[in-house]
Amino acid sequence: MLAGGNGNDVSGSAAVPLLIVGAGGFAREAAEAVRATNTRAARWRLLGHLDDDPTRHGCLVGPSRVLGPAEAVHDHPAAQVLVCTGRPDDYFSRERLVTRLNLDAPRFATVVHPAAVVPDSTVVGEGTVVLAGTVVTVDAVLGRHVAVMPQVVLTHDAVIGDFATLASGVQLGGGARVGEGAYLGAGVLLREGVRIGSRSLIGMGAVVTRNVPDGQVWYGAPARWVRDVEVPPDRSRQPIVAVAGQEERR
Ligand SMILES: CC(C)(COP(=O)(O)OP(=O)(O)OC[C@H]1O[C@@H](n2cnc3c(N)ncnc32)[C@H](O)[C@@H]1OP(=O)(O)O)[C@@H](O)C(=O)NCCC(=O)NCCS
């Protein structure tokens, strides 16, 4: 866990080797956040990207190369790892990959872009990436392997479950909670105290005024139920373990 700050305190330590699993949009965005962090202090040494698509192996992703499939994390035991996948049409992929890789929690890096504001009163879990322009006000909890896209606003006492994705411009009123593995599309607004159920999908631009149960798709203003989520068979029987420290804030 990274408690507060922006993860840039590298005084006295050498750059840590880092692998990014994924070579798509989010992976490239995370790599930029890593590079931005390094402009302040040599925090990370990005070894490269890993991707299961063999046609990508050896290809350049920005200045870094795709070194092999995700399992290559095991060839670099000293490297920390970020799993950076997850599109709206496959937002379970990060959870699936982390389960598959079966690494100990300390193997995962936590990256907070230096242009994000994350106060010391906020806990950020392993594997979580926070992109530029995001503001967390006070006393929030971000679980493990959470993706926070640019310009997200999390106000007091927000709780974000493991593997959740907050697309750009999402804004949470005080005490709002996002369940494990949920996906909030771009520009979603959550009324204070509202809870989004685990693995639910909220469409872009939605104004959510009441609780959303687990596993449902909602959108609109005010947001309404549209359909149930089709959880892939390899995920449906896998409970997501809650992040330590979240329970006491619920
Ligand atoms: C909610 C969502 C998953 C629905 O996708 P979908 O099931 O493929 O829906 P479709 O695109 O087939 O649209 C079905 C209908 O819903 C409407 N609709 C889709 N998304 C909507 C939204 N967010 N708000 C309001 N209406 C929406 C469409 O206009 C369409 O209406 P119509 O039947 O009258 O033409 C998707 O639109 C969405 O919002 N995804 C998140 C995108 C995002 O935030 N991306 C960030 C990437 S970084």
Per residue in 99-132, pLDDT (tens digit) is 999 999 999 999 999 999 999 999 999 999 999 9
pLDDT of residue 1: 55
Asked whether residue 122 falls in the same domain as residue 62, the answer is no
Residue 106 makes CB contacts below 8 A (sequence gap 6+) with 126
What CATH number did the domain enclosing 75 receive?
Answer: 3.40.50.720
The strand pair at 2-3 and 80-83 is best described as: unpaired
Residue 230 domain flag: no
Instruction: Provide the domain limits for residue 61.
Output: 16-107
Same domain, 70 and 43: yes
The string of pLDDT tens digits covering residues 151-210 is: 999 999 999 999 999 999 999 999 999 999 999 999 999 999 999 999 999 999 999 999
Ligand 1 centre to CA of 168 (Å) is 16
Q: Which atom of ligand 1 is nearest to the CA of 186?
A: 44
pTM, 2 dp: 0.91
Q: Of 87, 107, 127, which residue is a domain's last?
A: 107
Q: Quick check: is 6 in a domain?
A: no
What is the residue with the minimal CA distance to atom 5 of ligand 1?
A: 203
Q: Give the 3-state DSSP-derived string for the chain, with helices as H, strands as E and coil as C.
A: CEECCCCCCCCCCCCEEEEEECCCHHHHHHHHHHHHHHHHCCCEEEEEEECCCHHHCCCEECCEEEEECHHHHHHCCCCEEEECCCECCECCHHHHHHHHHCCCHHHECCEECCCCECCCCCEECCCCEECCCCEECCCCEECCCCEECCCCEECCCCEECCCCEECCCCEECCCCEECCCCEECCCCEECCCCEECCCCEECCCCEECCCECCCEEEECCCCEEEEECCCCHHHHCCCCCCCCCCHHHC
- Residue 241 is assigned to a structural domain of this protein: no
Whether residue 57 lies in the annotated active site: no
pLDDT averaged over the chain? 90
Both 181 and 136 in one domain: the answer is yes
What's the rounded mean pLDDT across residues 6-25? 74
Distance, in Å, from the CA atom of 219 to the CA atom of 207, rounded to the nearest integer, reads 8
Residues 101 and 116 in one domain: no
| Nearest atom of ligand 1 to the alpha carbon of 149 | 48
Residue 239 exposed, middle or buried by CB count within 10 Å (0-12, 13-18, 19+): exposed
User: In this structure, what CATH number is given to the domain that contains residue 214?
Assistant: 2.160.10.10
Count of structural domains within the chain: 2
- The verdict on whether omega for the bond into residue 232 sits within 30 degrees of 0, i.e. cis, is no
Tell me: do 134 and 215 sit in the same domain: yes
- Look at residue 68 and tell me if it is in a domain: yes
d(CA 22, ligand 1 centre) in Å: 25
